[in-house]
Amino acid sequence: MPRLSLTINGRAVKARQGETILGAARERGIFIPTLCNLDGLKPLGGCRICLVEVRGHPRPVPACATKVEEGMVVTTDSERVVSMRRMVVELLLAERNHQCPVCVMNNNCELQAVARLLGIDHVRYDFIAPRAVLDISHERFGIDHNRCILCRRCVRVCDEIEGAHTWDVNGRGAASRIISDLAEPWGLSGTCTDCGKCVQACPTGALFAKGTETTGKGTICLEKLVAWRQRREP
Amino acid sequence: MSRIKLATAWLSGCSGCHMGILNLHGGLMELFQLCDLVYSPLADFKEYPAEVDIALIEGAISNRDNLEMARIIRRYTKKVVSLGDCAINGNVAALRNPGGKAAVLEAAYADPVNKPVVFGECVPPLFDKVLPLHQVIPVDAFIPGCPPEPEAIRVALHRVIERL
């Protein structure tokens, strides 16, 4: 297989044809943060955390979904891409209800880890605070849309690895929601094989296994939480 | 150099961040060698003083009283610091935001007969949305955490003092 020569952050790098910028950088120990990327799944380029600059390209490109080319000059840590990554993570935090202290994934969360890595100590944008529901109709798992960042790892792992394609995305933009089958309760899904791959693939606390609902701050009563989230307006 | 005038304030929070300050333990001695506490819920001060160097503010903005207090603090303070997650993003106080004011009043105060909730004049009106501190006044520094680690408070305070 032909080897291509490119430059990443001023370092000469050899890469195989067909490899992504992310893969080539990782092989050389050059770290690029990611969120929607998961090894073994097809790259989506959806979260834009892994944006890098390529000389000659007017816009930054996602490292996870861009193939290396001969003579490419890549910068992964310029001020411009770092500030863009910060902006992307802040927008993700503003889009749903990410209250870490009451989340099942506190301190095990990839979104939290990326925010910490980028030194995000506050969000400059208005919080949308959408009304998002929680579905615990499945016997063993639950989905809390308040924590979802729409990375579609669950959709892809269910489709590409398990072959069930229970999950999909409904709606557009910030109103998008992950749905099971035709927007039915998860517990009633006829396609779900109860394998739990989506729960393992989820980078945040959006998908979780029941029985692990303890945080560092005590136990969450899921039934009460669901009643509160699904209550009718007075 | 004259002694630094330090204030702390407690808006819509649980006082956990003030516990974080108390958890400085020995660090408190170190802190008060440099600073005088001029306003704080930890001591009995009635009025916010006219000249303050650093104010650590715990809690989100969830009612008119919080907003007035935040504006007073900003007017008389050189460096305003958001202390803890409630001041930074609303955190637990902002859990009510998706439902708004009506939902939280109903959940907390409505009686079984569903009589409308009536508050007297002395209760500050709740805002429909809980806001982070930096969305109502300019904030100079942020100390995240729920509550912030004492070491984070210590390091951040020293950095703010250096920048005075």
- What's the Rg (C-alpha) of chain B? 17
Domain A87-232 has CATH 3.30.70.20: yes
Residues of B in contact with A97 (CB under 8 A): 94-95, 97-98
By CA distance, what is A146's nearest residue in B?
A: B98
Cβ(B142)–Cβ(B88) below 8 Å = yes
- CA–CA gap between residue B5 and residue B39 (Å, rounded): 9
CA-nearest of B161, B163, B156 to B24 is: B156
Tens digit of pLDDT for each residue in B1-41? 689 999 999 999 999 999 999 999 999 999 999 999 999 99
**Tokens for A120?**
């995000």
Q: What angle (nearest 5°) sits at the alpha carbon of residue B132, between those of residues B71 and B6?
A: 50
Instruction: State the pLDDT at residue A161.
Output: 94
- Say what percent of chain A tops pLDDT 90: 82
Instruction: State the pLDDT at residue A216.
Output: 45
Q: Do B135 and A123 touch (CB under 8 A)?
A: no
* Average confidence score pLDDT of chain B: 92
Tens digit of pLDDT for each residue in B114-129? 666 677 778 888 999 9
Question: Which residues contact residue A117 at a Cβ distance below 8 angstroms, ignoring those fewer than 6 apart?
Answer: A33
- CA–CA gap between residue B67 and residue B72 (Å, rounded): 9
Output the pTM of the full model. Answer: 0.89
Q: Do A101 and B134 touch (CB under 8 A)?
A: no
ipTM of the complex as predicted: 0.89
Helix (H), strand (E) counts: chain B: 6, 7
Residues of B in contact with A123 (CB under 8 A): 88-89, 132
